[in-house]
Amino acid sequence: MKKDLLKLDNEQCDDEFEKMFQEFMESHADDDDDLDSTLDSDDDDEKNDDDDAPTRFSRKSEAKASSQFQAPYSLGVCVLDDYDKTYYTDGPVSVYISTHDGFVPDTDRFKCYVLSDAFFPMCSSLEHCTVQRSGNDLTYVINCQRIWVPGNYMLLVRDKDDTLVRLDFQLDEQLETHFDGALYTQICGIEDILTTTVINDRHWQNMAVVPGIGQMRQKILHERHLSVYNELRKEFGAGKLRYDRNFLISTRNQDITGEVLDDFRAQVASSYSMELVDCSTLFDPACNNPYEHLGDLLMRISNDVICLTNIGALLSTGGKLIVKRIVAKVSKGNEPLPLWICGSRMEIEELLSQFPSLKALFMRSCWVEQEPATAFELIQAFFQVLAEENLLPSVPLKDMVAKAIIQGCGQGRLVSWSLGDIRRLVAEDIQPRYVKRVLQNFDFDLLPLLLPEDVDTALFVGHGDTYEKCLSELNAMVGLDEVKQGIATMANNTRFYQERRRRNLPTSCKAAYHCIFTGNPGTGKTTVARMLGRIYRSLGLLSKGEVIAVDRTKLVGRYIGETEENMKVVLAEAQGNVLFIDEAYNLYDGANDRKDFGARVIDSLLTVLSQPNPDMLVVFAGYEKQMDAMLNTNQGLMGRFPYKYQFNDYDAAQLLQIANGLLSRDEYILSEEAERLLRESIELVYKARPENFSNARWVEQFVNNGIIPAMANRLALSPGADYQHIEAADVRKAYERFNVKAFGLKPRRKVGFGA
């Protein structure tokens, strides 16, 4: 008969709880010979009445419960022993176990598991292992088919008496192994759960090698951990703690497939089946009943996880009723059905903002983010794909590719890479090059390996931009001193926080990088936006870094719903890039006029602007007065743009410098008289410039559409003449065409805010 713990004082309660815990563990300890049988998992064992995940209690009562206790034997580990460690490659890991007090263990006494610090399975002694004995010492030589790269790893060793020991070790840049002392793990801790109910589960094995889904794996371990704890609570007569099985699964690419989602379901909600729902099929206006497919779905669902995909369709016609019916279905009864929403972060947040009843089903902890793949994950995925395609890489190739991927990730070039990208790379580039080489040199006696010459490392590291190169090109631009200094400060701030994160220092600041560019036409706003995209890409903040330039005409529709469709297309194209919106003040006039669809553009952008890491940079550009007027009427919008850069007009000397740069780029040479006349022409135009003078844009037209055509006309009358030297007559003709009066500069038509 259990005692009432509430009637005991704190010290007695702790003693009694410890005694009950030990009794519980002893009563659930398994026989040592049955250890392996608990590790296998199949679909028939996925469902159980009490909880979704199988639980495992097999720690003897005398085992130490605290990770502060040293292991009862000495442990050591060495990766790639007797290998050439200048190569990053696969190869064996040696585990050294030395027992104390003359005890001679059996060779099958220990089971060893090697994982990365993110629980990526490297290898285990359950397969591809030889055991060597030397007196009381055992050496487990485990063959590892994963690529060893610098980083943090862990060794888990389970004894036959069911104690579990963890040894953390590191590989440095030369792949030398470093480690401290081994420690007991906690009873029913993460390591215990991992090595008993998880690591040999085929669903876990499927997910373990998918890049970017570390948060999914963490959710699985948390659910298993809580399941074990609920078993303990059940023994003590306490009710089990509920685990929220509703998830918002934010995706970055197509790697989270239906198979991955079903593997996830099998580990966090195994008592349910999976119903994968394409929301675009739930409303079909071609049917007599447009909601026929929705009705079929709701009739079919009984004990299922409902996973919604293509959720953008719910924001279109018919979406309101679909959401209402699905919310009613999952909320019905005492045990609500799990609901998963799968899409980009922007899509999910927009959907939840439109439907409060749907948002109410999810807590903050429900988010599961697909993160950018790490260099380690991309390396392992690359060689996994090669194995799937039956391509055998040589050791030099393994080393070359691993180091190239590490370099590419460091440059920020691979931040958007996915498993699909790797498969396309292998199928479209690497395999054809390999086949071409081997068919030209057919060898019947030797199976040719994949060699470094079969892979272009520029595919990983490119001929890309470094931060220093990008900033150097920005500084080489004429003028714009304040803009250059502001961008340098922003970039230095970003690198500062990145270095703090790398050193595991607290970094609570979640900086946004969206910008306002103000200034007259031709002052370099679009050019700087292109450079800013390259700088952000070199810092790893953008995955592509190109500029998508739009204005009101490309965004605002003519009828209800067209603006939203336009924005979906533009935002999809701008993913990973700079979205440059010229004359942005035309989108919003400050009046609460819902007939003007420009406000819908702002609404769509707010979702992106509010995200901490949207893989998109939004730049609003336009005249200073109009931009300030727009932002002053919307303080919330102003707060989304922490950086504002003023592009001042160029003076006459700077305009001349730009003109000379254009000419020297194509190796034109000005005669002495032409050089004098060019300077005087620019000074005259500068003095008479109107308010909306187009600065460098006027210079480009003056040179490219004025001077060069005049030179071409002159040389057409003199075949065989000098095609490099520009004469004064050429400049004079250009000035006649492009002086302020002849050019007829007129103020622009203004839409939206006035000055």
Can you give the residue ranges of every domain in the chain? 74-187, 214-369, 375-461, 467-647, 652-743
Q: Which of 569, 579, 524 lies closest to 546, judged by CA?
A: 579
Task: Determine the angle formed by the axes of helices 395-410 and 375-388, rounding to 10 degrees.
Answer: 140
Domain range 74-187, its CATH number among 3.40.50.970, 3.40.50.300, 2.60.40.1930, 3.40.50.12780: 2.60.40.1930
Q: What does the pLDDT average to over 182-208? A: 87
Q: Give the pLDDT confidence score for residue 742 in this predicted structure.
A: 52
Place of tokens 């780029």: 665
Helix (H) or strand (E) holding 649: none
Going by C-alpha positions, the residue among 459, 451, 461 that lies closest to residue 397 is: 451
pLDDT at 171: 96
User: How many whole angstroms separate alpha carbon 608 and alpha carbon 612?
Assistant: 9
pLDDT at 71: 61
DSSP 422: H
Amino acid of residue 323: V
Which pLDDT score is estimated for 406? 92
The average confidence (pLDDT) of the chain is 82
Tell me which DSSP letter residue 98 carries. E
The first and second tokens of residue 563, run together, are: 């603006």
What is the spatial order of strands in the sheet that 578-582 belongs to? 547-550, 578-582, 617-622, 515-519, 643-647
Q: Is the pLDDT of residue 607 over 90?
A: no
Kindly tell me the sign of the dihedral angle through the C-alpha atoms of 356, 357, 358, 360. positive
Query: Is residue 578 within 8 Å of 545, Cβ to Cβ?
Result: yes
N-term to C-term CA, the chain: 84
- For residues 161 and 63, is the Cβ–Cβ distance under 8 A? yes
Q: Note whether 658 and 618 are within 8 A (CB).
A: no
Task: Please state, in angstroms and rounded to a whole number, the distance separating the CA atoms of residues 136 and 545.
Answer: 60
Position 278 scores a pLDDT of 92
Task: Yes or no: say if 543 and 576 are a contact pair by the CB < 8 Å rule.
Answer: yes
> In CATH, what class is 652-743?
mainly alpha
Element (H, E) at 672: helix 672-687
Instruction: Give the model confidence (pLDDT) of 303-315 as tens digits.
Output: 999 999 989 888 7
- Is the CB of residue 531 less than 8 Å from the CB of residue 483? no
**Cβ–Cβ under 8 Å, residues 414 and 470:** no
Asked whether the beta carbons of 407 and 540 are under 8 A apart, the reply is no
Q: How many CB atoms lie within 10 A of CB 64?
A: 18
Six-digit token pair at 82? 């007797």
Q: Give the CA count within 13 Å in the CB-facing half-sphere of 590.
A: 14
**Structure confidence at residue 751 (pLDDT):** 44
Q: What letter would DSSP give residue 587?
A: G
Task: Give the distance, in angstroms, between the CA of residue 550 and the centroid of all CA atoms in the same chain.
Answer: 25
Contact 483, 528 (CB under 8 A): yes
pLDDT surpasses 80 at 598: no
State the pLDDT at residue 32.
40
Task: Mean pLDDT check: name the lowest of 322-326, 399-403, 745-749.
Answer: 745-749
Is pLDDT at 621 greater than 80 in this prediction? yes
Helix (H) or strand (E) holding 682: helix 672-687
- Residue pair 224/193 in contact by the 8 Å Cβ criterion: yes
Residue type, 297: L
Q: With a cut of 70, say whether residue 198 has pLDDT above it.
A: yes
List Cβ<8 Å contacts ≥24 apart for 283-288.
283/313, 283/316, 283/317, 283/318, 283/319, 283/322, 285/317
At 707-728, the pLDDT tens digits run 889 888 888 877 667 788 888 8
Say yes or no to pLDDT of 50 above 80: no
Indicate the range of 236-240, 636-640, 751-755 predicted with least confidence.
751-755
Whether residue 231 contacts residue 57, with contact meaning beta carbons closer than 8 Å, is answered with: yes
For residues 168 and 179, the answer to whether their CB atoms sit within 8 Å is: yes
* Cβ-contact 503, 515 below 8 angstroms: no
In this prediction, residue 12 carries a pLDDT of 53
The pLDDT of residue 450 is 93
Query: 403 Cβ partners below 8 Å, 6+ apart?
Result: 88
Q: What is the dihedral of CA 459, 465, 466, 467, to 10 degrees?
A: -140
| Alpha helical stretches, state H, 70-156 | none
Q: What percent of the chain has pLDDT over 70?
A: 83
- The CATH homologous superfamily for domain 214-369 is P-loop containing nucleotide triphosphate hydrolases (3.40.50.300)
Cα–Cα dist 151/172, whole Å:
7
Query: Which pLDDT score is estimated for 589?
Result: 59
- Round to whole Å and give the CA distance between 663 and 654: 14
- Are the beta carbons of 441 and 425 closer than 8 angstroms? no
Give the pLDDT of residue 377.
94
Average pLDDT, stretch 197-214? 88
Of all residues in the chain, the percent with pLDDT exceeding 90 is: 31
**Cβ contact 733:693 at 8 Å:** no
For 394, residues 6+ apart whose C-beta sits below 8 A from its C-beta are 449, 450, 451, 452
Q: How would you classify residue 318: left for phi > 0, otherwise alpha for psi between -120 and 50, otherwise beta?
A: left
- What pLDDT band is residue 630 in, cutting at 50, 70 and 90? confident
Average pLDDT over residues 59-80: 60
What is the predicted pLDDT for the residue at 46? Answer: 43
Strand order in the sheet with 247-250: 273-278, 304-309, 339-343, 247-250, 367-369
Mean pLDDT of 329-348: 88
pLDDT band at 4 (very low <50, low <70, confident <90, very high): very low
Which of the listed ranges 8-12, 28-32, 282-286 does the model predict with the highest average pLDDT? 282-286
Cα 492 from chain centre: 22
| Distance (Å) of CA 186 to CA 68, 153, 239, 500, 665 | 9, 19, 23, 31, 69
pLDDT of the residue at 5? 41
H/E segment holding residue 341 = strand 339-343
Chain centre to alpha carbon of residue 82: 37
User: How would residue 735 be classed by pLDDT, with cut points 50, 70 and 90?
Assistant: confident
* Residue 84 burial class via C-beta count within 10 angstroms: exposed 0-12, middle 13-18, buried 19 and up: exposed
Tell me the C-alpha distance between 578 and 584, whole Å. Answer: 14
Condensed to tens digits (0 to 9), the pLDDT of residues 582-594 reads: 888 888 755 555 5
Decide if pLDDT at 244 tops 70. yes
Q: Are strands 177-179 and 164-171 parallel, antiparallel or unpaired?
A: antiparallel
State pLDDT tens for residues 656-702.
Answer: 999 998 898 888 988 889 989 989 888 888 888 887 788 888 888 88
pLDDT at residue 495 greater than cutoff 60: yes
Give the mean model confidence (pLDDT) for residues 74-96. Answer: 94
At 10 the pLDDT is 46
Q: Are strands 74-79 and 93-98 parallel, antiparallel or unpaired?
A: antiparallel
> What does the pLDDT read at residue 593?
52
More confident residue, 260 or 747: 260
214-369 and 467-647: identical CATH topology? yes
pLDDT bin (cut points 50, 70, 90) of residue 362 is very high
Q: CATH number of the domain at 467-647, out of 3.40.50.300, 3.30.390.30, 3.30.70.890, 3.40.50.720?
A: 3.40.50.300
Average pLDDT, integer, range 121-147:
92
Cβ 607 vs Cβ 346: under 8 Å? yes
